[in-house]
Structure 1
Amino acid sequence: MRALADFIMRGRMQAIVVVAASAALPMLFWLCAAAGSLVLLRRGLRDALGVLVWAVVPACIWWYFGDPRTLLVLLGSFGLAWLLRDQASWSRVMLCSVGLGLLYAWALGVVFGEPIAALATELQKVLPDMLSDAYQQLSTDEQARLGSLLTPVLTGLLAALLQIATVLSLMLGRYWQAVLYNPGGFGLEFRALRLSSLPAMLLLMGILLGPSLGVQMAMVAPLCSVPLVFAGVALLHGLVKQGRMARFWLVGFYVALVLFMQLVYPLLAVLAVVDSLFDFRGRASRDDDAGPADGEG
């Protein structure tokens, strides 16, 4: 990965080759977004736009053939990278990713509205078997409302996946920047990620109350969970770095995340909310040898 990052930063032509090729190839939209983010973070918006235009063309072609992921993640990661470069705040990046997720949800509804609705219809047919007695105890109106929530929830879940892919692409670009210009800087930044109490509570309310505020608001719940989950992961990494948890638990966490996603994911969100109130890591240390990940002071 370091060799690839070094190649990207050798010059404008090398960066164009990487972003254009990865945008044109299937399933490499994350690499395109990460490479573009690296250029923007290090060289600024003006140089990045000269690279971005070469990735937008194949991304638009993918959209024409029914796959908007490349263009959405590319533009989303550029927007978040610009925010990170300007304000150097991962918490603000995470919060802004929710708005980005809403745009993703709208785009997915436009492009994949019919397939998502068809999938929701099929899921509604198997709900009685999935929920068994619990479903039968619901009233007719409650069953109808549950069925009406499926389409927006599925749209929100798909948008949340793109939201996560966007944030991870930006993190990869920031990691490359730190590796090249300030080793250790990205780890310092990420472990300091913590949401303050008010935004964390608002996100929690979006998760818990979103579906009750309206059918379309149900798509907000998955989007609000993403910043909390990343903050929860940062909390665990911070505790391990401070020596308050053994590294073994971090390895076990990632294994559990893969095997028991449906249990670990909400637990991370809860940990982030609790940390926003009690700040388990304490105030971020300013005397670490590694400075900001951009390596510029």
Structure 2
Amino acid sequence: MRAIAEFIMRGRMQATLVVAGCAALPLLYWLGAAAGSLVLLRRGLKDALGVLALGILPALIWWLYSDDPRALMVLLGSSGLALVLRASESWNRVLLVSIAMGLVFSVVLGAVYRPHIEILAQELVKILPLALGDLYQQLSVEERARLAALIAPVLTGLIAALLQIVSVLSLIIGRYWQALLYNPGGFGREFRAIRIPLGPAMLLLACMLLGPNFGSQMAMLTPLCSVPLVFAGLALIHGLVAEKRLAKFWLVGLYVTLLLFMQLIYPLLVVLAIVDSLIDFRGRLTPKDVDSANGEG
């Protein structure tokens, strides 16, 4: 990883090669977004603009000729979040802004993939009686129609949330590279300090639970608002493992379990983040002077 970061920061040509080259490859666009984030975090928008502009070209071609906007969305999304992080030095703000980015993603996805999402939603509606069993039979006709109307927005929100997560992860990689080169260990301290304050955490919880009551399209807020809480939950576990000096095995086990049992661990992380906002497990353990990972100043 260090070798890649050093190559990117060697010069504008090398950075452009990585950003544009990865954006041109369907499975590596996240790496190009991470490289763009590194350049933007370290050099600023003025120096990074040319690199990002050339990186956007292959991503735009993918959208125009393959109807696949993912590379462009992640590249622009991670770059926007990098600007927020560079200006504010606040991961909380980055995670909260990512919700607005996710909403933009939802609009784009709804326009590009609407027919595919509607077809998938119709298929899911057909299996609802089998999936819910007697509970579905107890629903009134109006309640069944309302439930069916929520499926397409939720699917759109889930896809947008996935791209939102990829954008944040790309920024995390870029920030990690920056700390690796200019402030070793800085990113770890920065990430472990992430904690959503009580007010925003309660607002996110309200949007997740009550959003669908204000219209079917608002159902997409549920997956989008969960993303900041999931990262805060991961930061909490990283912080506790570091404070208790536990073996890295626990973190490896966490991520393996997250991949294998996503439907169980994901909501658990959300709950942990909300509880941490109430209790602040790391309040007396986290050093007050958390170092920045940018290596500047």
Q: How would you bin the TM-score normalised by the shorter chain? A: over 0.9
CA distance in 1, matches of 2:76, 2:295: 24
Alpha carbons of 1:227 and 1:118: their partners in 2 closer, same or farther (altered >3 Å)? same
1:11 alignment counterpart: 11
C-alpha distance in 2, partners of 1:125/1:202? 34
TM-fit CA distance, 1:129: 1.0
2:32 matches 1:32: yes
Runs of 4+ in 1 over 4 A off after TM superposition: 244-248
Q: Is 2:78 the counterpart of 1:77?
A: yes
More divergent stretch after superposition (278-287 vs 100-109) = 278-287
**2:171, 2:27 → 1: CA distance?**
16
Shift of 1:27: 1.4
Deviates more, 1:251-260 or 1:7-16: 251-260
How far apart in 2 are the matches of 1:21 and 1:251?
30
Total equivalences in the alignment? 295
The aligned counterpart of 2:228 is 227
Q: Deviations over 1:18-40 (max 9, x none)?
A: 11111111111101100000000
1:121-270 pair list within 5 angstroms: 121-243=122-244, 247-270=248-271
Take 2:130 and 2:93, find their aligned partners in 1: how far apart are those partners? Answer: 42
Question: Per-residue CA shift, 1:152-210, capped at 9, x if unaligned?
Answer: 00000000000000000000000000111111011010000001000000000111111
- Structure 1, residues 39-78: CA drift from partner, whole Å, max 9, x if none? 0000111011010110111111111120000111111111
Query: Aligned equivalents of 2:91 and 2:231: distance in 1?
Result: 10
SS of the counterpart of 1:183? coil
Partners of 2:217 and 2:162 in 1: CA distance:
18
**SS at 2:296 equivalent:** coil
Q: Distance in 1 between matches of 2:271 and 2:25?
A: 38
Look up the SS of the partner of 2:113 in the other structure: helix
- Same amino acid, percent of matched pairs: 66
Check if 1:285 corresponds to 2:287: yes
Task: Within 5 Å, give how 1:84-95 maps onto structure 2.
Answer: 84-95=85-96
- Once residues 44 and 245 of structure 2 are traced to their aligned partners in structure 1, the CA distance between those partners, rounded to angstroms, is 38
CA distance in 2, matches of 1:217, 1:154: 12
Mean CA deviation greater in 164-173 or 56-65:
56-65
- Report the TM-score when normalising by structure 1: 0.96
Distance in 1 (CA, whole Å) between partners of 2:136 and 2:245 is 44
Query: What letter corresponds to residue 27 of structure 1 in structure 2?
Result: L
Q: 2-side partners of 1:282 and 1:57: how far apart?
A: 45
Q: 1:257-279 CA deviation, whole Å, 9 max, x = no partner? A: 12211111111111111111111
Tell me the amino acid that sits aligned with residue 231 of structure 1.
A
Q: CA RMSD in A?
A: 1.3
What secondary structure is seen at the aligned counterpart in 2 of 1:281? coil
The unaligned stretches of length 5 or more in structure 2 are none
Q: Which amino acid aligns with 1:293?
A: A
**Structure 1's 246 and 23: CA in aligned 2 closer, same or farther, altered over 3 A?**
closer
Deviations 1:113-135 (A, max 9, x none): 11001100011111111111111
The amino acid that maps onto 1:260 is F
Superposed CA offset, 1:72-125 (max 9, x none): 111111110011011100000000000000000000001001100110001111
How many Å separate the matches in 2 of 1:75 and 1:180? 24
SS in 2 for 1:171: helix
**Cα shift at 1:255:** 2.5
Q: Quick one: which amino acid aligns to residue 230 of structure 1?
A: F
